[in-house]
Amino acid sequence: MVDSSNLYETWQLVCNQVKGYDSVNPVQVDAFFSRLQPQAISDGFLIVTADTAFIKSQVERRFMTTIQQALKDLFGIDYLVEIEVDPMGDAGMPVQMAAPVAAPAPMAPAPIPAQPFVADLAQNQAVANEMQPAAAPAHHSGTTQPIAPVQAQPAPVEDAGETGGNVMFPVTAGEETEFVEQILPTPRGAETRRPRNAVNDTALLASALTFETFVVGNSNRLAYSMAVAVAEEPGKKNLNPLFIYGRSGLGKTHLLRAIQNYIIATNPQMRVVYIDSSEFLSDYTAAVVAHDKNKDSYLNFQNRYLDADVLLIDDVQKFQGKSATVDIVFQLFNKLTDMGKQVVLAADRAPKTIDIDERYTSRFNSGGTCDIQPPEVETKLGIIKGFIEEYRSSENAYGIDVPEDIQMYIAEISSSNVRELKSAVTKVISQITYFNNPDISLPDVRVLLENHFLSGANKRLDVASIQKEVERYYKISHADLVGKKRSRNIAYARQVAMYLCRQMLDIPYNDIGKRFDRDHSSVMYSVGQVEEKLTKSRELQEEIELIMKNIREN
């Protein structure tokens, strides 16, 4: 019999039971269940509330069967489980995470005045000069451009014609989605127009990159929660703009696309624009080049972005060194945020380490800012399991089995780059299927993946070898490097060593801190200090390059 008088203790018992199953990732349970509150329980019935409709749908889809199994295992009877949305919920942010992002942002400098977009042809020419000479305009008309569907039905393609258009459909999941062309008939009488949520004809709407397919772990939980909050309530002041940063392959693009897909599915009246910085540069250059023939080219360029309710810009670090283009971006940025429209930015480094005008850096930081750290082993294992399930489903190959010891081996030896991780799993699956090797063993996989990872040469490295080379280079003892001394030369060497561990080993801050007798925040600070100095000091850049070379060779 269930004890209904101790509701929270009983709910905690259920949560622990769920996390104990082999098929469940405990980190993901914590991420989603932290946003549930038990309301009532009796024999055969449980009701809990979620803080948003999104969390309700996710828990129902991912964990409902497991929750019911846990209840049956604990109390011996079948249970009906109801999940309702709490109208007083925190609009998408978990309780324990609300504080860092809900606090008022520091006062930013006065917004940069929004100047007429085409007031200065010299500026236009400066933007053109920033582009590579061979850069081609990003906007093209035609029916063979790839537009992928958001859900089940694809959006019509501009100028598709009476007999239909060519549409590119995704055939694999994940960030490395490939597209194949299919012919779609155009319904009689249907208009052939640009989809409302397309940036231009070359935009790829990566429908596989959703919140459902994003694996949540300790390394990315805050970024995930902020992204969900923005998707559920675009334009919320304390998260506008939202700036997500982290190294390549950690899931930044996935989160931007997930925001895009979620808003399109739940708020189809809103216009969402996703653009990579390189595409933006090409798009603007096309407008500059076309100005002599078409005086509306600048206005058309401007309106394409100002008409957006949500603007997502990826890889903004590529604007570094392109001052004229940055001015254009921030005219857009200020106009959109002043109108209460949402802006989301992503980069491979923190805002303060992007070499642009300080006024712009402060604007980057005026909303919510969060980083995605390299995934820990548990998160990588969750990604592997999810990818295997995606493969089984997409290929109708439910008999494919990758042994648990092989999955764990891949998770442990892989780098932080999710693309590399998925390609390693694909390589193993290919060995099982195409080479008819269903009984593949761990020794076989070790040989198969020996030279797979780009950072494979670094996998022989460890914290100790990096510490040893830094100590040799700066002529300090190991005791000083990991000790409490704060003299300038020792503190400097310690920061460099922590930075190199982060760069070369792809391990979380906390793991680095343990080897330096420091906590997570101290390592983050040290890495940030070195990253900031690297943008200004060529001497430090050369030092780092030399030390890394010595580490690899010794």
Q: Which residues pair with 336 in a beta bridge?
A: none
Distance CA 325, CA 127 (A): 5
Q: Which residues fall within 8 angstroms of residue 220, CB to CB, at 6 or more apart?
A: 214, 250, 251, 372, 373, 375, 379
Is the N-terminal amide bond of 268 cis, ω within 30° of 0?
Answer: no
Q: Which residue blocks in 396-453 are alpha helix, DSSP H?
A: 404-413, 418-433, 442-448
Q: Nearest to residue 219, comparing CAs of 550, 506, 478, 542?
A: 506
Q: Which residues fall within 8 angstroms of residue 389, CB to CB, at 6 or more apart?
A: none
User: What single letter denotes the amino acid at residue 158?
Assistant: E
> Is 468 annotated for ligand binding?
no
> Is 251 annotated for ligand binding?
yes
Q: Which residues fall within 8 angstroms of residue 321, CB to CB, at 6 or more apart?
A: 130, 355
How many other C-beta atoms are found inside a 10 Å radius of the C-beta of residue 67? Answer: 24
Task: Provide the CB-side half-sphere exposure for 213 (13 A, CA).
Answer: 26
Q: Which residues fall within 8 angstroms of residue 472, CB to CB, at 6 or more apart?
A: 550
Q: Nearest to residue 342, comparing CAs of 273, 266, 231, 240?
A: 240
Is residue 502 exposed (0-12), middle (13-18) or buried (19+ Cβ within 10 Å)?
buried
Q: Is 537 helix (H, G, I), strand (E, B) or coil?
A: coil
Q: Which residue blocks in 76-173 are alpha helix, DSSP H?
A: 95-102, 121-130
Residues 471, 481 contacting (CB under 8 angstroms): yes
User: 108 φ, ψ to 5°?
Assistant: -90, 160
> Is 337 annotated for ligand binding?
no
Distance CA 554, CA 549 (A): 9
Distance CA 232, CA 426 (A): 34
> Is 177 annotated for ligand binding?
no
Burial 471-490 (b: 16+ CB within 10 A, else e): bebbebeeebbbeeeeeeeb
Distance CA 295, CA 261 (A): 34
45-50 β-sheet, strand order? 36-42, 45-50, 80-85
Distance CA 217, CA 28 (A): 6
Distance CA 344, CA 244 (A): 8
Annotated binding site: 249, 251-253
Annotated binding site for ATP: 249, 251-253
